[in-house]
């Protein structure tokens, strides 16, 4: 029997290893997505309020779910810090996913500015979860800056292209003691499962669900894939032969003995 | 003029609370920044908007 297997982020315990995005789909689907994903953390963005808008996303998110505001829209550390402070002022906890992009074509994170913002926000008591390009030196700097996790990208945001950075994420899993949460680009449950088999602590997905045919059903598929990958990792994968074969059946006691 | 979420509005001299009351914003669901500094909710009533102030009113939306 496996002992209790919790995901711990900044001292907070979670049973689910699936972090759900809330972008690009109907607010009305959020509750079903959270439920079928088994998610305990959901990401949000901070934007200018619309005077005409009556609906608020917070009305659609089940109360026991931890909110993870991101700093999307920030082009440098200073803007990310401003957005994080505004998110905290919205009164929904201390979690923040630092996301800083200068480039609007590939939406790649600016690792340097991300380290700076992480350091400032960690000192202000935030639980900082930086989205980053998977680079070991940067990951170490983020650890030193006070990050609660690191969130390396699998492939460009919204691309559904899967684990393009596989080898580099594996290095982070092997070398970094914080939870490594694979974020961005995971398009299929099988890719989420593979990342979990590699030892990722959790998966963050949004577009894979938002662009799926049946969002709650895909949320359930991801949940199962993530749970399967986690169990496989905890078990330890079976070995791979360099060459040849190894029978699974007994080689004795049959016709031509 | 006071620039609120990018739009110049004739609100100088009014308090932030007065401006917010004239909108459909839910005060519990927004955060306000004045010239780059957060205005705590408790200070909405005493914050008088000045000519040239830049105000940002934000809330949560869906995101990844």
pLDDT in tens, A30-56: 999 999 999 999 999 999 998 876 788
Q: How far is CA A18 from CA A37, A174, B44, in A?
A: 7, 21, 38
Q: CA B21, B26, B28, B29 torsion: positive or negative?
A: negative
Share of chain A above pLDDT 90, in %: 89
d(CA A37, CA A62): 13
A229 has a chain B CB within 8 A of its CB: no
Give me A204's structure tokens.
Answer: 């963050």
Q: What distance in Å separates residue A112's CA from the closest CA in chain B? A: 21
Query: A86 to chain B nearest CA, in Å?
Result: 6
Please report the pLDDT score of residue B24 as a whole number: 87
Verify whether residue A97 is a known catalytic residue: yes
Domains along chain B with CATH numbers: 2-53 (3.10.20)
> For residue B6, what is the nearest residue in chain A, using CA coordinates?
A48
Segment B17-44, tens digit of pLDDT: 999 999 988 888 999 999 999 999 999 9
Q: What is the pLDDT of residue A189?
A: 98
Chain B contact for A159 (CB, 8 A cutoff): no
Name the residue in chain A with its Cα closest to that of B27: A90
Residue A254 confidence (pLDDT) above 80: no
pLDDT bucket at A2, cuts 50 / 70 / 90: low
Contact B63 A82 (CB under 8 A): no
pLDDT at position B27: 86
Cβ contact, residue pair B60, A58, below 8 Å = yes
Residue of A nearest to B28 (CA): A90
Segment A65-91 mean pLDDT: 96
Give residue B20's Cα distance to chain centre. Answer: 7
Q: What is the pTM of this model?
A: 0.93
Q: Is B56 in the A-facing interface, judged by CB distances under 8 Å?
A: yes
Q: Is the minimum CB–CB distance between A72 and chain B shorter than 8 Å? A: yes
For tokens 């408790």, name the residue.
B42
The answer to whether A68 and A41 have CB atoms below 8 angstroms apart is yes
For the cut 90, the answer to whether the pLDDT of residue A3 exceeds it is no
Cβ contact A57–B57 (<8 Å): no
Mean pLDDT of chain A: 95
CB pairs under 8 A between A and B: 96
Cα separation, A18 vs A203, in Å, equals: 5
- ipTM, two decimals: 0.93
Closest CA to A60 of A86, A37, A41, A34: A34
**What average pLDDT does the segment A181-198 reach?**
98
Task: Map residue B8 onto helix, strand or coil.
Answer: strand
Q: CA distances (Å), A45 to each of A6, A95, A99, B62, in order? A: 26, 12, 10, 6
Checking if the pLDDT of A197 tops 80, the result is yes
DSSP track, chain A = -PPP--EEETTEEES--EEEP--SS-GGGHHHHHHHHT-SEEEEEEEEPPTT----GGGGS-TTSEEEEB-TTB-SHHHHHHHHHHHHHTTS-SEEEE-BBS-TTT--B-HHHHHHHHHHHHHTT-EEEEEE---HHHHHHHHHHT-S-BEEBSSSTT-----TTHHHHHHHHHH--S-BEEES---SHHHHHHHHHTT-SEEEESHHHHTSSSHHHHHHHHHHHHHHHHHHHHH-PPP--SSS---SS-SSSSTT-
Q: Which of A195, A80, A76, A45 is nearest to A134 (CA)?
A: A195
Stretch 31-50 of chain A: residues touching chain B, C-beta under 8 Å: 43-49
The answer to whether the CB of A111 falls within 8 A of the CB of A150 is no
Q: Which residues of A touch B21 (CB under 8 A)?
A: none
């Amino acid at each position: 029997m496996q002992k209790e297997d919790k995901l711990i982020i900044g001292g907070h315990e979670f049973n689910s290893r699936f972090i759900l995005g809330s972008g690009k789909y109907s607010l009305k689907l959020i509750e079903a997505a959270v439920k079928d994903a088994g998610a305990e953390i959901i990401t949000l963005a901070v934007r200018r309020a619309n005077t005409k808008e009556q609906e608020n996303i917070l009305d659609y998110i089940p109360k026991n779910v931890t909110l993870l505001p991101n700093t999307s829209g920030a082009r440098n550390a200073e803007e990310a810090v401003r957005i994080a402070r505004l998110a905290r002022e919205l009164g929904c906890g201390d979690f923040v996913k630092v996301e800083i992009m200068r480039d609007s074509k590939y939406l790649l994170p600016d690792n340097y500015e991300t380290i700076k913002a992480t350091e400032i926000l960690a000192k202000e008591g935030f639980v900082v979860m930086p989205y980053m390009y998977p680079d070991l030196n940067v990951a170490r700097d983020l650890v030193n800056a006070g990050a609660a996790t690191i969130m390396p990208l699998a492939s460009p945001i919204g691309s559904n292209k899967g684990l393009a950075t596989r080898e580099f994420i594996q290095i982070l899993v092997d070398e970094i003691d914080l939870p490594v949460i694979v974020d961005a680009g995971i398009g299929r449950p099988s890719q989420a499962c593979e990342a979990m088999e590699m030892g990722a602590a959790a998966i963050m997905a949004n577009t894979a669900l938002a662009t799926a045919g049946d969002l709650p059903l895909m949320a359930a598929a991801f949940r199962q894939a993530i749970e399967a990958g986690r169990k496989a990792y905890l078990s330890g994968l079976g070995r791979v032969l360099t060459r040849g074969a190894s029978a699974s059946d007994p080689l004795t006691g049959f016709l031509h003995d | 003029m006071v620039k609120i979420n990018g739009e110049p509005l004739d609100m100088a001299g009014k308090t932030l609370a007065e401006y917010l009351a004239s909108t459909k914003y839910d005060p519990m669901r927004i955060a306000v920044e004045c010239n780059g500094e957060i205005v705590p909710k408790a200070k909405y009533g005493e914050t008088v908007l000045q000519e040239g102030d830049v105000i940002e009113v934000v809330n949560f939306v869906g995101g990844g």
